[in-house]
A and B are shown apart, each in its own frame.
Chain A
Amino acid sequence: MGFKLFLSGIVFLFLSTVIQDQALAGKPTDSIRKTTDKIIGIVSDPDLKETDKRKEKDLLIRKAVDEIFDWREMSRRTLARHWRKRTEQEIKEFIDLFGKLLERTYLDKVEGYSGEEVLYKGEAVDGDYGVVKIMIITKKETEISVFYRMKKKGDDWFVYDISVGGVSLINNYRTQFNSIIVRSSFKKLMKKLKAKVEE
């Protein structure tokens, strides 16, 4: 009898840790994990390794990223105080170009993936905002900390900023774009973005 109780005790303890583990990794982490796993699946898919499949691969990655990135929010935060002065048409064009610019930067990084380890370091949720902290460990044992800043929209969480090694993507582009707009104009910024994307 005593042994049975002991056994059920262990089972209960085990179960409760499992449940606790799931409760600790909340929704923001879940969605990041889902997308990350999906992308890793795409880049390590041997069927998509050939060079002629590159377009298809890029498209699949873009689709996976689109599910979790809030491009409008990112663009709004990047343009900051210049956002309100833009017409709906300009906004549309900007979101498209900015998305492409990030896609280029992001895809280049992702395509170089060669079995780096991704560790989930926890999350912090404060109302409708959350931060998911992950650590990427490269083959050379270098640790790169990446923070995904997310915002809740309805029931889902969307990324609006990424910090790599403590440097915020939005802050970086916000400063750059602001200085271009202040020095010349929004048109000039669009021209530069177009040139960069088409490079």
Chain B
Amino acid sequence: MRKFDLELGVGLFMIVGIICLGYLTIKLGKMEVLGDKGYEVQAVFSNSGGLKTGSSVMIAGVEVGRVKHIVLDDYEARVVINLPIGLKIQEDAIASVKTKGLIGEKYIEITPGGSEKIIVPGGKIRETQSAIDIEQLISNYVFGKL
């Protein structure tokens, strides 16, 4: 009987351990299990500058959503982002790919517009600004000087 109690204890400990591990994996890996809350909108960029699935979407520096996936479509980057349901994005909002710091990771910044039309779930942010290629800027500057 005593032996059985010990085995039960170890088993329970293992199960709790696995649950904790699973929780940490989901939390740290920023995965979503029970379906996404929120809605999706698309934005097409001519250069996504290395944006990744899971990159942040910010408004006024506040993280409001994440990049759900990115596909190449006609040599342009079609980015699908996930936004919370209560957040309204105006039809003339501008989505731009920005860099945290000078060489930090990429994120999408949305500057809200003033239109009365709101982008519906599954809709598209028409106004986009691609990542600024700093190397290109430097080379333009260098070769422009010739």
**Contact among A82, A163, A174 for B111, CB-based, below 8 A:** A174
Q: Which residues does chain A contribute within 8 Å of B111, judged by CB atoms?
A: 80, 171, 174-175, 178
**Contact among A77, A167, A175 for B114, CB-based, below 8 A:** A77
| Between-chain CB contacts (< 8 Å), 13 pairs | A77-B92, A80-B111, A80-B113, A83-B114, A126-B126, A138-B144, A140-B143, A165-B137, A165-B140, A166-B132, A167-B132, A168-B96, A171-B111
Does B55 count as interface, using CB distance less than 8 angstroms? no
Residue of A nearest to B128 (CB): A168
Does B127 count as interface, using CB distance less than 8 angstroms? yes
Give the shortest distance, in Å, between B140 (CB) and chain A (any CB): 6
Give the shortest distance, in Å, between B111 (CB) and chain A (any CB): 6
Does A170 count as interface, using CB distance less than 8 angstroms? yes
Residue of B nearest to A160 (CB): B92
CA distance A35 to B144 in the complex (A): 27
Does B112 count as interface, using CB distance less than 8 angstroms? yes
Residue of A nearest to B143 (CB): A142
Give the shortest distance, in Å, between B62 (CB) and chain A (any CB): 14
Q: Which residues does chain A contribute within 8 Å of B146, judged by CB atoms?
A: 140
Chain B, residues 102-133, CB within 8 Å of chain A (1/0): the string is: 00000000011111000000000011011011
Interface of B, secondary structure class, is loop
Q: Which residues does chain A contribute within 8 Å of B133, judged by CB atoms?
A: 166
CB within 8 Å of A: which of B59-102? 90, 92, 94, 96
Instruction: Name the interface size band of chain B.
Output: 20 to 34
CB within 8 Å of B: which of A116-160? 126, 129, 138, 140-142, 149
Q: Is the CB of A149 within 8 A of B127?
A: yes
Q: Is the CB of B144 within 8 A of A171?
A: no
CA distance A83 to B126 in the complex (A): 20
CA distance A82 to B139 in the complex (A): 38
Q: Is the CB of A142 within 8 A of B140?
A: yes
Q: Is the CB of A81 within 8 A of B113?
A: yes
Q: Is the CB of A80 within 8 A of B129?
A: no
Q: Is the CB of A80 within 8 A of B92?
A: yes
Q: Is the CB of B144 within 8 A of A80?
A: no
Does A27 count as interface, using CB distance less than 8 angstroms? no
CA distance A83 to B113 in the complex (A): 9
Q: Which 5 A-B pairs have the closest CB atoms?
A: A80-B114, A83-B114, A142-B144, A171-B94, A80-B113
Q: Which residues does chain A contribute within 8 Å of B47, judged by CB atoms?
A: 166
Name 11 extra pairs, CB < 8 A, besides A77-B113, A166-B47, A171-B111: A76-B114, A79-B114, A80-B92, A80-B114, A81-B112, A83-B114, A141-B143, A142-B140, A166-B132, A168-B129, A174-B111
Q: Is the CB of A163 within 8 A of B129?
A: yes
CA distance A166 to B94 in the complex (A): 13
Give the shortest distance, in Å, between B57 (CB) and chain A (any CB): 16
Give the shortest distance, in Å, between B67 (CB) and chain A (any CB): 19
CA distance A170 to B93 in the complex (A): 10
